[in-house]
Amino acid sequence: MSDLVIDASLTLQWFLEDEVGREYGLAILRGLADKRAVVPPLWFYEVGNGLVIAHRRKRITSEQLSGFVIRLKALPNRRRSPDADGCAGIAGECAGAWAHNV
C-alpha cells in the first residue's frame, strides 16, 4: 500500500459540490481504497476553516457541516498532530456560533 498526501483544497472538493475540480478530487477519494492518506499537520485547521467559510457563505447547511465532520473523522489517514477531534470540534463550534448570530 502506498501513501498519498492530501491537502485541504482536495479534501474540500469531496464535500463542496460546486467546487472547481471536484471530479478529480472524487477520483482521488475513490483511490484511497488502495492507498493510505497522509495529511500535513495544518490540514485539520484548513479543512475546518474551509467548511466554516462554506457554511457562512451558505454553500452548505449546518446539517451538512455536521455530517462532513463525522465523515472526516472516519477517514483512515496518518497524522502526527494536531488532534482531528479537536479541530473538527472547533469547526463545529464556530459554525454553530455563527449560525446563531445571523
**Where are the domains positioned within the chain?**
2-101
**Which segments of the chain have a pLDDT < 70?**
1-2, 76-102
pTM of the model: 0.70
- pLDDT recorded at residue 55: 92
Q: Judge if the upstream peptide bond of residue 41 is cis by omega within 30 degrees of 0.
A: no
Residues in Cβ contact with 16 at an 8 Å cutoff, skipping those fewer than 6 apart: 22, 50, 54, 59, 60
